[in-house]
Structure 1
Amino acid sequence: MMTADTELSTARAVAARAAPSLAILELPGRQGVGFVVSPQGYLVTNLHVVAGAEEVHVQLADEQFLQVEEVIALDEKRDLAVLRLPTYDVQALELAPEAHPGEGDMLFILLPAGGGMMGLLETRVQAVQVLDESLTFLELEAALPEDASGGPVLDASGALVGVATCAFADGRPVTIVIPSRYVLPLLERPGTQPISALTQARPSASRQRHIPTHPLSLLEGCATDAVEEVALGIMQAIQLGAPTYNRGDPEGCYRFYARAAERLILERSDCPGAQAALREGLQRCTTLADADERAWALRDTFDGLLHVIDRWLQAQAAFARMAAPKSYMQ
């Protein structure tokens, strides 16, 4: 377990390694963040930070002030942009596509702190979210300032794991990480575009998830076996429904999900809280005319139940450890 001194030492080491690559982006009427990922001056940021801009100026950590002249690649689906700086004299961060942080892992976001200083936001992974087969992202615990979107996210070893992004879900700001593995293909695209390509760029709006947050009391009185059976039934439904959705059949996906929800409601009278949550999800679907929306409404219902089940099982395991008889050396 890390002590406070160890965590501070880790944070300082991560900041020292990443700071030279950080870039502050100055655009008409707004500011953003990016970071350099190659000696060729390739700079990564969020597309929404630079979309629509007629010009982009960049201030580097060594106080170089440059104007972006070329666009290497834009990815509207994943809200990413790769620009090229007219310099080769920049220390770059190395992407770590093999890094796959999981729930609870510590991460660090490098961001400007004003007055030429760098700040380091320490946080943890709250959840790994699968939007669809083309995008998986990390949701973080900490809130990211909106003008800090596009900054580098690093793990405790200093490996660059992705791009910090300020997004919105259910009407509230959330901090997510677009993983490094989505950046690598952009760096390999042939050719360049003029800076005017940004004026036509518009990042696609991310789907807003409506995943309910349930209290642990939802599962009060349920046996562990029953809770685990509910989780298994939900996961099996997702394993069948998600590939169907990804093949372009949201109606088929919805039918898989709905049948699974109805079966669990019928069979799991020993988990009344789970039954109620599933009924609520199905009821919500009756108000939605679009099959795509219905499929995602039930997926949100399923994910909300899986989250509370995971927390409940962890709590049960902790109580069991506390209640276990202790043995003492004589």
Structure 2
Amino acid sequence: MLPVDTEFIPARAVAARAAPALAVLEMPGRQGVGFIVSPWGYLVTNLHVVAGAEEVHVLLADDQLVQLEEVIALDEKRDLAVFRLPDHEVPALDLSPEKHPGEGDMLFLLLPAGGGMLGLLETRVHAIQVLDESLTFLELEAALPEDASGGPVLDASGALVGVATCAFADGRPITIVIPARYVMPLMEQSGTQPLSALAMARPVASRQRHVPSHPISLLEGSPTDGIEDIALSIMQAIQIGAPTYNRGDPEGCYRLYARTAERLVQEHSDCPGAQSALREGLHRCTQLSDADERAWALRDTFDGLLHVIDRWLQAQAAFARMAAPKSYLQ
């Protein structure tokens, strides 16, 4: 294993220690990234990077090009794939499933930068997200190039934290980390599968969001205190509803969102544009039979309103600054 100190080390040293374990995956029509986590040649990447590939070649740090033949394990839920390189002993990262960074902690993403060069992306943990009882992941502040998905994420001591993964939320790309603790059980599975197993493998598809994009004129004529009350009520509902959903209770989440939307419709006739958007979201829910879909329909409604309210409040502040009386030195 590559040695790791417990003290903080410079970013350049983090890259130097991890570089021998980085691998570039070459498939017909596309490339990806992976890394070695065992001197016996176990290679880890995201499942979506290799799903459907009929052949996969691996370019190692020493410029050797080898062809993958054995699949050790595929995890569609967590978007992970583990392979074994044929007859190669290579420097490997130390798999440390005990590493649990918190919000604000510094992390490093190692990625190929082309021409045999390496890139090291420095970022921090934006949030810890609990999808359900089977998956907790880290959301990072920095954006990762989509073709760099599957690379290693390291902490400030150089220890492996997990797998860098490109995902989507609210219709925009985000970078998440699948923690290393989910990789260890995959490596311990007995038996192997042929590479043809990739043809049937598909990671869980990301949810398609339908967040409405409202013009700022939607809120024209609305009082500032009314708009601020709507935004605060929506944010409070999400703060309670999202954890409820993540605990496996989409019906409870939907009921909370629906009560909030119905109350705001009743109380804010002074904000007809926002009132109309909320009514439209509630009406959409009447056409959906699944609690999960209804919860997301109202979350989309809420996010669309929060986006336009943020733009509207910024515009109001700008107008106020422009209209403020100015004093001049005589």
Normalising to structure 1: TM-score of the pair?
0.72
Seen in structure 2, the aligned counterparts of structure 1 residues 211 and 180 have a Cα distance that, compared at 3 Å, is: farther
Output the CA distance in 2 between the equivalents of 1:190 and 1:198.
18
Output the CA distance in 2 between the equivalents of 1:124 and 1:296.
28
Seen in structure 2, the aligned counterparts of structure 1 residues 175 and 233 have a Cα distance that, compared at 3 Å, is: closer
Output the CA distance in 1 between the equivalents of 2:245 and 2:53.
40
Q: Which amino acid aligns with 1:147?
A: D
Q: What displacement does 1:91 show?
A: 1.1
Q: Which amino acid aligns with 2:121?
A: L
Output the CA distance in 1 between the equivalents of 2:52 and 2:132.
27
Q: Which of 212, 230, 243 does residue 247 from structure 2 map onto?
A: 243
Q: Quick check: 109-118 or 167-176, which moved more?
A: 167-176
Q: Give the aligned partner of residue 319 of structure 1.
A: none
Indicate whether 1:39 and 2:31 are aligned.
Answer: no
Q: How many residues align?
A: 296
Output the CA distance in 1 between the equivalents of 2:130 and 2:279.
24
Q: Which amino acid aligns with 1:47?
A: L
Contact 1:254 1:291 survives alignment (8 Å): yes
Output the CA distance in 2 between the equivalents of 1:95 and 1:152.
11
Contact 2:241 2:253 survives alignment (8 Å): no
Q: Structure 1 vs Structure 2: percent identity of aligned residues?
A: 76
Indicate whether 1:68 and 2:72 are aligned.
Answer: no
Q: Deviations over 1:185-237 (max 9, x none)?
A: 21111111111111221222122456899xxxxxx869xxxx99987765555
Seen in structure 2, the aligned counterparts of structure 1 residues 150 and 230 have a Cα distance that, compared at 3 Å, is: closer
Q: Quick check: 160-169 or 15-24, which moved more?
A: 160-169
Output the CA distance in 2 between the equivalents of 1:26 and 1:39.
21
Q: What displacement does 1:265 show?
A: 8.2
Output the CA distance in 1 between the equivalents of 2:30 and 2:116.
17
Matches within 5 A, 1:257-272: 257-259=257-259
Contact 2:108 2:121 survives alignment (8 Å): yes
Contact 1:169 1:210 survives alignment (8 Å): no
Q: Give the aligned partner of residue 97 of structure 1.
A: 97
Q: Which amino acid aligns with 1:128?
A: I
Output the CA distance in 2 between the equivalents of 1:128 and 1:212.
26
Q: Which runs of 5 or more residues in structure 2 are unaligned? A: 1-7, 214-223, 269-273, 307-330
Q: What displacement does 1:163 show?
A: 0.9
Output the CA distance in 2 between the equivalents of 1:24 and 1:233.
44
Seen in structure 2, the aligned counterparts of structure 1 residues 183 and 9 have a Cα distance that, compared at 3 Å, is: closer
Q: Give the aligned partner of residue 206 of structure 1.
A: 206
Output the CA distance in 1 between the equivalents of 2:210 and 2:125.
19
Q: What displacement does 1:282 show?
A: 4.7
Matches within 5 A, 1:3-152: 10-152=10-152
Seen in structure 2, the aligned counterparts of structure 1 residues 241 and 30 have a Cα distance that, compared at 3 Å, is: closer
Contact 1:141 1:175 survives alignment (8 Å): yes
Q: Quick check: 71-80 or 102-111, which moved more?
A: 102-111
Contact 2:9 2:158 survives alignment (8 Å): no
Q: What displacement does 1:152 show?
A: 0.4
Seen in structure 2, the aligned counterparts of structure 1 residues 264 and 140 have a Cα distance that, compared at 3 Å, is: same
Normalising to structure 2: TM-score of the pair?
0.72
**Higher-Rg member (1/2):** 2
